[in-house]
């Protein structure tokens, strides 16, 4: 008996991508799946189009459309569908993706053959067929930037496969994050349970990228940096929080100033300050979430850090831009 699959797609004003998405879904060689399309109160007519497409592509029996009355964010929107999922595996897809016919099949084959790996992603290409990601790096200061070396820490949420049982064991996506850094947090918590993260290189997905979130805006900087702080507090041991949180906060402030100056827009700096205040306001909730994470952990930080970049990738990337030597910036 083939293992079943639940596919979850979150939609927010992304009508233009739905035809490619449904076309790809209909062509999958792995057709034992249920589909949840979760709409976060879109205003572009995407729900009506999705209802038409599921009929046109003979996916009516597989598809459930959930219409939220307001934008609940990436994390809660996906969780709503995940709690209803019946599949052995959950596959989270960004709405601006399309994929080769054997994408799902190769993902599940990888997962079935490697039970020690908790999360899988596809080999993700840009629409022009250039490589987008085969796994994402993360440094010990909870940042992702250009490193001297590559270590895969987390799988891209654009096309992410995880066992249903494991997803629910760790509590799903952290809904307080809303969006940004949610996939890094998920992988970190899975790694704390002793599982690995992998890329199924024969499973090909194409990702438009940054459409739904609008790129590197002040608002996205706010979510990225506020969540970076929460994730670090939740997932690190007490010793590493003491050692690294001050550096993390300093790096966030430094680059908030840099982005504000470089873009001539003070909102980048105010976004960072808002991120600080949010974490102060919700510190009690973060500490409660931390208690749950730490209670479940079976792996020490020293093991987790084998998969992290051991220096600040932000400072390294910045040094390349301004021509400084690498040795001056790798803290």
The pLDDT value recorded for residue 96 is 96
Q: Is pLDDT above 60 for 326? A: no
Among the ranges given (50-64, 104-118, 206-220), the one the predictor scored with the smallest mean pLDDT: 206-220
- What CA–CA distance (Å, rounded) separates 300 from 325? 33
Supply the pLDDT for residue 54. Answer: 97
Tokens representing 167 are: 């997803």
Residue 72 has pLDDT above 80, yes or no: yes
Choose between 7 and 324: higher pLDDT.
Answer: 7
Confidence of residue 321 (pLDDT cuts 50, 70, 90): confident
Q: What is the mean pLDDT of the segment spanning 161-188?
A: 97
Q: What architecture does CATH give domain 5-207?
A: Alpha-Beta Complex (3.90)
Tell me the pLDDT band of 327, cut-offs 50, 70 and 90.
very low
In the predicted model, is pLDDT for residue 30 greater than 50? yes
**Six token digits for residue 185:** 């947090």
Residue of 307, 42, 275, 283 lying closest to 181 (CA atoms): 275
Does residue 48 register a pLDDT over 50? Answer: yes
pLDDT over 90 percentage in the chain: 89
Partners of residue 10 on adjacent β-strands: 38, 94
Give the C-alpha separation, 266 to 138, whole Å: 27
User: What gap in Å lies between CA 214 and CA 11, rounded to an integer?
Assistant: 14
Instruction: State pLDDT tens for residues 239-256.
Output: 999 999 999 999 999 999
Buried b (16+ CB within 10 A) or exposed e, 4-35: bbbbbbbbbbbbebbbbbbebbbebebeebbb
Residues contacting residue 5 through CB under 8 Å, at least 6 positions apart: 30, 32, 33, 34, 87, 88, 89, 90, 91, 104, 108
- Domain segments of the chain as ranges: 5-207, 218-328
Residue 133 sits at φ, ψ, to 5 deg, of -165, 140
Q: Is the pLDDT of residue 259 over 80?
A: yes
Dihedral of alpha carbons 95, 101, 103, 108, sign = positive
Mean of pLDDT over the chain: 94
pLDDT exceeds cutoff 80 at 328: no
Secondary structure element (H or E) that encloses residue 24, with its range: helix 18-26
Q: Please check the confidence at residue 79 and state whether its pLDDT lies above 60.
A: yes
Q: What is the maximal distance between C-alpha atoms in the chain?
A: 59
pLDDT score of 255: 92
Mean pLDDT on 310-331: 74
* CA–CA gap between residue 237 and residue 122 (Å, rounded): 31
- Specify the pLDDT at position 331: 62
- Residue 214: pLDDT above 90? no
């Amino acid at each position: 008996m083939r293992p079943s699959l639940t596919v979850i797609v979150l939609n927010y004003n992304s009508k233009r991508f739905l035809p490619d998405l449904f076309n790809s879904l209909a062509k999958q060689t792995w057709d034992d799946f249920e589909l949840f399309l979760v709409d976060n109160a879109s205003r572009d007519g995407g729900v009506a189009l999705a209802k038409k497409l599921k009929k046109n592509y003979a996916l009516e029996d597989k598809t459930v459309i959930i219409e939220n009355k307001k934008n609940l964010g990436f994390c809660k929107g996906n969780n709503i569908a995940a709690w209803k999922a019946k599949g052995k595996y959950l596959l989270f897809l960004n709405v601006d993706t399309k994929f080769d016919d054997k994408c799902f099949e190769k993902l599940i084959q990888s997962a079935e053959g490697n039970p020690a790996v908790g999360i899988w992603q596809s080999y993700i290409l840009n629409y022009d067929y250039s490589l987008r990601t085969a796994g994402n790096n993360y440094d010990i200061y909870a940042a992702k930037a250009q490193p001297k070396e590559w270590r895969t820490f987390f799988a891209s949420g654009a096309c992410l496969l995880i066992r249903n049982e494991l997803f629910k064991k760790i509590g799903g996506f952290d809904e307080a994050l809303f969006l940004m850094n949610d996939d890094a947090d998920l992988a970190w918590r899975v790694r704390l349970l002793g599982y690995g993260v992998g890329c199924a290189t024969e499973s090909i997905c194409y990702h438009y990228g940054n459409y739904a979130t609008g790129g590197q805006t002040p608002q996205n900087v706010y979510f990225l940096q506020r969540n970076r702080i929460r994730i670090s507090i939740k997932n690190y041991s007490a010793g590493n929080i003491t050692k690294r949180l001050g550096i993390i906060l300093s790096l966030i402030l430094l680059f908030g100033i840099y982005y504000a100056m470089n873009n001539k827009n003070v909102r980048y700096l105010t976004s960072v300050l808002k991120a600080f205040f949010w974490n102060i306001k919700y510190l009690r909730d973060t500490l409660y979430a931390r208690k749950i994470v730490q209670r479940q952990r079976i792996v020490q930080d020293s093991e987790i850090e084998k998969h992290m970049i051991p220096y600040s990738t932000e400072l390294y990337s910045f040094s390349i831009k301004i021509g400084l030597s690498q040795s001056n910036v790798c803290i």
